[in-house]
Amino acid sequence: MTTTDMYRPKGNLKDSKMNHRALQMNRRTMLKASGASLALPWMESFAGAQTKSPPRRFCSIYFPYGVSLPKQGGEYGQWNWFPKGSGKDFTFNKPLKGLEPFRDQVTILGGLSHPKVRRIGGHDSGDTFLTGAELSLATTGLKNSISLDQFMARTHKLGKSTRFTSLVLSSDGGTGMPTRANTLSFSRTGQPIPSFNRPAIVFERLFGLKGDSIEAQRKGLTRTGSHLDLLLDEAKRLHRKLGKVDQGKLDQYLTSVREIEQDVERSAQWLRVPRPKVNAEGLSLDADNETPGKLIHTMLDLIALAFQTDSTRFITYQLASMHGAISIANKFPTLLGFTNNAHGLAHGAGKGKKGAENKGKWDRYQAECLCYLIKRLSEMEEGDGSVLDNTCIFYGSSNSKTHNNTNYPLILAGGKNMGYQHGQYLTFGKNVPLANLFVTMQKSMGVHADTFADSTGELDGLTS
């Protein structure tokens, strides 16, 4: 047997000429069954104490390149993403038609944008959706600032009472690079937080099926705890020997180890609580970026399950990163039978009827994904209502169309118990920073802070 015959190139890291017995551990696991069905509602949180009121949750979903915006009332006006009319008196155009059954659960917001982001390139605004930072080389050296989810979950510690402080998802995974980040979430120091993009791994993390016994896990955590001092010690010693720039880089390591220190403590407490048992049957955990429909909907399922089991209260999900040339998700529309890739659809949107319609249809598909999540959450009972009533969903893009940095298309959904007055289409003037909405949202979540980024106040007319 010749060695080169043994492997078909699969495009992974494996050396295709390895000269020993075939052994490939490509665990593209086909997870299907896991026994018992869902248990553990939010009230059985680990402290054992019965929580009085249901948890408040936040989920943000982002898509790039804005939406189709032909002239309202014009020939192709029905493909304009924004509704016709205003206030309570509005009609959905075609792209958002699917929201009609949830009309009382959503507010459409027009006119808002991040003022500082208007100064940077329209290609560069993806990273800033939840931060509002002026991400330019000249002013910030491409350094971002904290994102809304992390501000609430970490800075204001709202994420401390669940197994996971937050969950960061995307289609591309990892962190990407400045201005083309593959994540919506950024830490206190503006560091990108790596995102997960594979359902099987997210499922494993949330509901863990793997073999380790509780005892073994506890031992592992204790051990991890005991290593950290030594690891810190060593890194500090290295730190002293480095130049300034290198030190800045190694700081990431030091910060991360300290972060693990806190997480270890928390995980140890959580060990006493069995992981929620979730039936994976019906979840397409093997979905990947060749099957985007399955992939997106499985991710949405996982978001719903994570909320329902109160595994976390903060989730961000980037449907695609900003750069057509870099995001793997750029091809999703093509795979789903649309006429072009995402970037192509956006740039084609100005090209007459067909263009507006083609892009509008893709906008509709993305909005239907939001509907799917709303529907799932509304079907999950909690207290007197549903999980949706205790979840604030913030959906949208930081471009109005293609690479335009004003008038973001935004939807706020759910969170009835947090005081939202839905069923409206609100428009705002250019001088209202989007961060004002963030302040409203963080307050509704229970954060006692009156500002976020460049906010100038709160948003009127949204909450009672």
Which residues in the 259-288 window bind another protein by CB under 8 A? Answer: 259-260, 263, 281, 286
Q: How many CA atoms lie within 13 A of 435 on its CB side?
A: 24
Q: Binding of another protein at residue 143 (CB under 8 A)?
A: no
Q: By CB under 8 A, is residue 448 in contact with another protein?
A: no
405 C-beta neighbours (distance < 10 Å), count: 23
- Residues 404-433, interacting with another protein (CB under 8 A): 404-405
- Which residue's entry shows tokens 């949405």? 300
Residues 6+ apart with CB under 8 A from 317: 59, 60, 61, 62, 169, 170, 184, 299, 300, 303
Alpha-carbon span 451 to 437, nearest angstrom: 10
Give the binding range for another protein (CB under 8 A) out of 10-18, 54-62, 439-447, 451-459: 10-18
Out of 41, 77, 110, 194, point to the residue binding another protein (CB under 8 A): 194
Q: Which is nearer to another protein, 99 or 319 (CB)?
A: 319
| Min separation Cβ 57 and another protein, Å | 21
Tokens found for residue 38 = 């869902």
Q: Which of 75, 234, 265, 379 binds another protein (CB under 8 A)?
A: 234
Q: Which two tokens stand for residue 387?
A: 């999980």
Among residues 77, 220, 293, 423, the one that binds another protein under rule CB under 8 A? 220
Give the binding range for another protein (CB under 8 A) out of 146-154, 252-260, 409-417, 436-444. Answer: 252-260
Residues 68-127 within binding reach of another protein (CB under 8 A): 119-124
Number of residues that bind another protein (CB under 8 A): 118
Q: Is 13 in the site for another protein (CB under 8 A)?
A: yes
Q: Is 141 in the site for another protein (CB under 8 A)?
A: yes
Q: Site mask, another protein, residues 287-326, x = CB under 8 A?
A: --xx----------------------------------xx
End-to-end Cα, the chain, rounded Å:
75
Q: 322 with 330: CB under 8 angstroms?
A: no
The verdict on 193 binding another protein (CB under 8 A) reads yes
**Residue among 309, 312, 327, 436 that touches another protein (CB under 8 A):** 327
Torsion-angle region of residue 62: left (phi > 0), alpha (psi -120 to 50) or beta?
Answer: beta
Which token pair is 73? 């009332």
Interface region with another protein, contact rule CB under 8 A, candidates 253-261, 297-305, 310-318, 389-397: 253-261
Nearest-CA neighbor of 267 among 46, 57, 39? 46
Sequential DSSP letters for 318-338:
ESS-S-TTT-GGGGHHHHTT-
CA 110/CA 88 separation, integer angstroms: 14
* Distance of closest approach, residue 76 Cβ to another protein, in angstroms: 13
Among 64, 98, 348, 409, which residue sits at the site for another protein (rule: CB under 8 A)?
Answer: 348
Of the ranges 18-26, 60-68, 417-425, 430-438, which one interacts with another protein (CB under 8 A)?
A: 18-26
Spatial CA neighbour of 181 closest among 438, 329, 137, 173: 173
Tell whether residue 49 is a contact of another protein (CB under 8 A).
no
Of the listed pieces 152-160, 257-265, 299-307, 412-420, which binds another protein according to CB under 8 A? 257-265
330 binds another protein (CB under 8 A): yes
CA dist 336 and 289 (Å) reads 11
Q: Does 360 bind another protein (CB under 8 A)?
A: no
**Window 364-403: residues binding another protein (CB under 8 A):** 402-403
36 binds another protein (CB under 8 A): no
CA 29 to chain centre: 24
Pick out residues in 151-190 that bind another protein (CB under 8 A). 172-177, 182
Closest CA to 167 of 178, 146, 151, 153: 153
The encoded tokens of residue 380 equal 């999950």
The answer to whether 342 and 64 have CB atoms below 8 angstroms apart is yes
* 312 three-class SS: coil
CA-CA distance, 148 to 186, in Å (whole number)? 9
Q: Interface with another protein includes 25 (CB under 8 A)?
A: yes
Q: Interface with another protein by CB under 8 A: which range of 49-57, 228-236, 299-307, 310-318?
A: 228-236
